[in-house]
C-alpha cells in the first residue's frame, strides 16, 4: 500500500490533521495555512498528494506550485469549484473536488432567495424602518417555475427542494439526461427559449470558457419582469453589466448574489446600492463543519489512492467537473 507524503493546505490545519490522522494513522501528514508557504513546503517534503482549500480567495492562490511540482501527482480540492486550478494536464496531474460537500446548504441558500422575494421581505423591511403599517401581501412559490443552470450535485439539490415546495423545475446541462426532481432537462443550446419561462433562475454551473457570460444581455432581455436570479456558481457566469442595467431599469424583480467577477466586491461597486439585491460574501457553501466534512471525503478517497484504485470526483479540466 502506498504511503504518500501528504500536505493539508487549509486555514483549519490542526482540526483537519486530526480528522485525517484518525483514518490514516500511519501517513506522513504536513499542514500549511498560507498561500505563500505552500511552494516551499512542497519542495522540502517532496509531497505527492496535496489537499487544498481556496481559503483566501483566488488572487495569490499558489496554482503554479501545484501544477509545476514534479512530485505532486494528485491535488484534492476541498470545495467543488476548480476554475482556480485551470488549466492543468490530466495526463500528469489528477485533480479531484469535493462535489456535494455543500450542495444541500447552497440549495437552501437558493430557496431562501426565492422566499425572500416571494414574501416581499424587502418591502416589509422598508415599511418597518418607517414604522409604516402597510397593506401587505405575500405570494406562494408553489406553481412557479425555476430554471436551474447546471445539474451537478448542487443543481440536483436545488431541484429536490424546489419540487418539495411545489415548483415546476427545468434544468440545463451539457449532456442532457433524465434527472431526479427535474421536470424537463435540456441542453445549453435551449436556453434562449427557456429564459422567458422562468420565475426563478439559479446558477449552479462551473466557470468555464463555455459558461463565462452565460447569463448575458440577451438573457436579461428575455426574462420576465418578475424574474429573480440567484447565483451560487462562480463570478463571471453572470455578465454583471447587463445585470446592473436590468436591476436599474427594474426589468427583473431582483437578484440574490453570492459570487462576483471581482471578490471581495469593491466598495464602490454599483451592485451594493440596489434595494432589490441580496449581496453575500461567497459564503453559500460555508457552514459549521463543512471543511472537516470535506477532509472526511478526502480521507475516503485517499484509501483508494493508496490501494491504487480509481479516485472519485476526478475533474476533467475541459468540462470543469
Average pLDDT over residues 37-56: 97
Number of domains making up the chain: 2
189 found inside a domain: yes
Residue 156 and residue 264 in one domain? yes
CB 224 within 8 A of CB 170: no
Residue 80 and residue 128 in one domain? no
Residue 179 and residue 296 in one domain? no
Tally the residues of the chain.
Answer: 321
Residue 120 and residue 240 in one domain? yes
Contacts made by residues 152-155, CB under 8 angstroms, sequence distance 24+: 152/80, 152/99, 152/103, 152/204, 152/206, 152/321, 153/80, 153/99, 153/100, 153/103, 154/80, 154/102, 154/103, 154/106, 154/107, 154/204, 154/232, 155/202, 155/204
Residue 120 and residue 237 in one domain? yes
Beta-bridge partners for 7: 30, 50
Residue 222 and residue 244 in one domain? yes
Catalytic choice (54, 173, 253, 282): 282
CB 72 within 8 A of CB 48: yes
Residue 47 and residue 181 in one domain? no
313 found inside a domain: no
Average pLDDT value for the chain: 96
Residue 61 and residue 132 in one domain? no
Measured between its terminal Cα atoms, the distance across the chain in Å is: 28
* Whole-number pLDDT of residue 320: 84
* 266's grid cell: 469593491
Residue 58 and residue 129 in one domain? no
Buried (b) or exposed (e) across 189-207, using 16+ Cβ within 10 A?
eebeebbeebbbbbbbbbb
Cell numbers 453572470 correspond to 238
Query: What pLDDT, in 10s, does the model give residues 261-276?
Result: 999 999 999 999 999 9
Average pLDDT over residues 204-219: 95
Residue 207 and residue 299 in one domain? no
Catalytic choice (24, 108, 263, 306): 263
- Supply the CATH number for residue 18's domain: 3.40.50.720
140 found inside a domain: yes
Residue 151 and residue 162 in one domain? yes
270 found inside a domain: yes
Helix (H, G, I), strand (E, B) or coil at 108: helix
320 found inside a domain: no
Res 1 pLDDT > 90: no
Q: pLDDT exceeding 90 applies to what percent of the chain? A: 97
Query: What pLDDT, in 10s, does the model give residues 157-191?
Result: 999 999 999 999 999 999 999 999 999 999 999 99
Catalytic choice (173, 181, 234, 253): 234
312 found inside a domain: no
Range of the domain at 220: 103-279
Residue 298 and residue 274 in one domain? no
67 found inside a domain: yes
318 found inside a domain: no
Query: What pLDDT, in 10s, does the model give residues 94-151?
Result: 999 999 999 999 999 999 999 999 999 999 999 999 999 999 999 999 999 999 999 9
Q: What is the pTM of this model?
A: 0.91
CA atoms of 160 and 154, how far apart (whole Å) = 10
* Whole-number pLDDT of residue 5: 97
234 given a catalytic annotation: yes
Amino acid at each position: 500500500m502506498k504511503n504518500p507524503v501528504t500536505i493539508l493546505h487549509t486555514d483549519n490545519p490542526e482540526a483537519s490533521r486530526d480528522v485525517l490522522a484518525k483514518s490514516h494513522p500511519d501517513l506522513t501528514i504536513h499542514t500549511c495555512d498560507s498561500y505563500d508557504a505552500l511552494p516551499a513546503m512542497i519542495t522540502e517534503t517532496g509531497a505527492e498528494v496535496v489537499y487544498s482549500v481556496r481559503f483566501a480567495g483566488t488572487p495569490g492562490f499558489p496554482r503554479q506550485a501545484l501544477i509545476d511540482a514534479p512530485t505532486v501527482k494528485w491535488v484534492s480540492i476541498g470545495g467543488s469549484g476548480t476554475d482556480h486550478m485551470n488549466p492543468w494536464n490530466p495526463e500528469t496531474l489528477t485533480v479531484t473536488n469535493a462535489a456535494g460537500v455543500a450542495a444541500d446548504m447552497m440549495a437552501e441558500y437558493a430557496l431562501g432567495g426565492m422566499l425572500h422575494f416571494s414574501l416581499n421581505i424587502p418591502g416589509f423591511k422598508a415599511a418597518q424602518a418607517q414604522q409604516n403599517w402597510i397593506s401587505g401581501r405575500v405570494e406562494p412559490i408553489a406553481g412557479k417555475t425555476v430554471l436551474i443552470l447546471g445539474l451537478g450535485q448542487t443543481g440536483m439539490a436545488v431541484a429536490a427542494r424546489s419540487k418539495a415546495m411545489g415548483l415546476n423545475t427545468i434544468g440545463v446541462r451539457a449532456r442532457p439526461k433524465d434527472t431526479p426532481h427535474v421536470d424537463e432537462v435540456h441542453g445549453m443550446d435551449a436556453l434562449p427559449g427557456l429564459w422567458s419561462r422562468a420565475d426563478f433562475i439559479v446558477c449552479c454551473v462551473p466557470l468555464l470558457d463555455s459558461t463565462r457570460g452565460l447569463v448575458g444581455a440577451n438573457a436579461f432581455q428575455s426574462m420576465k419582469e418578475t424574474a429573480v436570479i440567484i447565483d451560487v456558481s462562480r463570478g463571471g457566469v453572470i455578465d454583471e453589466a447587463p445585470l446592473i442595467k436590468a436591476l436599474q431599469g427594474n426589468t427583473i424583480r431582483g437578484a440574490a448574489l453570492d459570487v462576483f467577477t471581482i471578490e471581495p466586491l469593491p466598495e464602490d461597486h454599483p451592485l451594493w446600492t440596489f434595494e432589490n439585491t441580496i449581496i453575500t460574501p461567497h459564503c453559500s457553501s460555508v457552514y459549521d463543519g463543512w471543511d472537516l466534512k470535506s477532509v472526511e471525503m478526502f480521507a475516503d478517497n485517499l484509501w483508494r489512492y493508496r490501494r491504487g484504485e480509481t479516485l472519485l470526483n476526478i475533474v476533467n479540466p475541459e468540462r470543469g467537473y
